[in-house]
Amino acid sequence: MENELTTAQRAKVLIEALPYIQQYNNKIIVIKYGGSTMVNEGLQRAVMGDIVLLSLIGVKAVLVHGGGPEINEALNKMGKKTEFIGGLRVTDQETAQVVQMVLAGKISKNLVNLIGNIGGRAIGLSGIDGQMIEARKMSEELGFVGDIVNVNTQPILDVLEKGYIPVISTVGFDREGNCYNINADTAAARIAGTLKAESLINMTDIAGLLRDKNDPKSLISKLNVSDAPQLIRDGVISGGMIPKVNCCIEAIRRGVKKVFIIDGRIPHSILIEVLTDEGIGTMFV
């Protein structure tokens, strides 16, 4: 099918991207990447391709990744059992080290490798590098699950200025030298807010916010943050989406201009969201 694209159609696509390129030129876009979209190799390559393209056309792309499944896998392999309290993993020092190792050593560097392979230039930064994410214990019970005390964006800006795409693993540090597991959605929102990013894009496994979960056509394409509480009360936003939506709202509140939840399962959904008239997913305003 695609072979049938005429040159006129190709040119049209490119030229339609013009106003979006103008709008995002030299602006920061933070992309939160995680979940099942990270597992599919073809999708992963497509996402990294999108980010390289954005960076080449003058966008300052910052990638923040998660990695729950791979952490589980590593803990399992090592025979490390973990308990959960309120859905959060009780994280002793050894577990925190595994989290750090998987996020900063495996996932982050593999993404950097893939970006390099596609022709981009990236550096993997954890929240420990350049003392980027200072954390403290959320509660004594949970151990090294961190609340963010402070985000120091200097290492991110330094790496951007030198022309690299920062690939950020959300582990944190404290003044005693401990390391922490930090929720990636929360960190991405906080980083985007502190950077006063133009945009924060959350890639998920769902088709944006649906008014009716079973009807993909019921997508809420634009959501005023003041309407969110009602949607939560109505159960339209529920379960795991609640904290994600709260992160989006928090990002808006901290000064990010546009926040999106997009469907990461669609190849090149970032490009489509950023560079075309078609929005996919939900925009928070």
Give least dist CB 34 to its own copies, A.
17
Pick between residue 15 and residue 215 the one whose CB is nearest to its own copies.
Answer: 15
Interface positions, 133-192, toward its own copies (CB under 8 A): 155, 158, 161-162, 164, 171, 173, 175-177, 179
Distances from the Cα of 14 to the Cα of 9, 52, 89, 118, 221, angstroms: 9, 16, 46, 20, 24
How far is Cα 133 from Cα 178, in angstroms, rounded to an integer?
A: 12
Q: Is 104 in the site for its own copies (CB under 8 A)?
A: yes
Strands 179-181 and 165-169: unpaired
Interface positions, 28-67, toward its own copies (CB under 8 A): 46, 49-50, 52-53, 56-58
How far is Cα 63 from Cα 171, in angstroms, rounded to an integer?
A: 14
Q: Is 131 in the site for its own copies (CB under 8 A)?
A: yes
Given 117, 150, 221, 230, the residue binding its own copies (CB under 8 A) = 117
Given 34, 35, 66, 124, the residue binding its own copies (CB under 8 A) = 124
Give least dist CB 196 to its own copies, A.
21
Q: Is 68 in the site for its own copies (CB under 8 A)?
A: no
Give least dist CB 22 to its own copies, A.
5
Size of the site for its own copies (CB under 8 A): 78
Please state the three-class secondary structure of 213-240 as a single string: CCCHHHECCEECHHHHHHHHHCCCCCCC
For residue 245, give the nearest of 212, 194, 204 by alpha carbon.
204
User: Which residue matches tokens 């309407």?
Assistant: 227
Pick between residue 54 and residue 248 the one whose CB is nearest to its own copies.
Answer: 54
Pick between residue 207 and residue 245 the one whose CB is nearest to its own copies.
Answer: 207
How far is Cα 228 from Cα 164, in angstroms, rounded to an integer?
A: 36
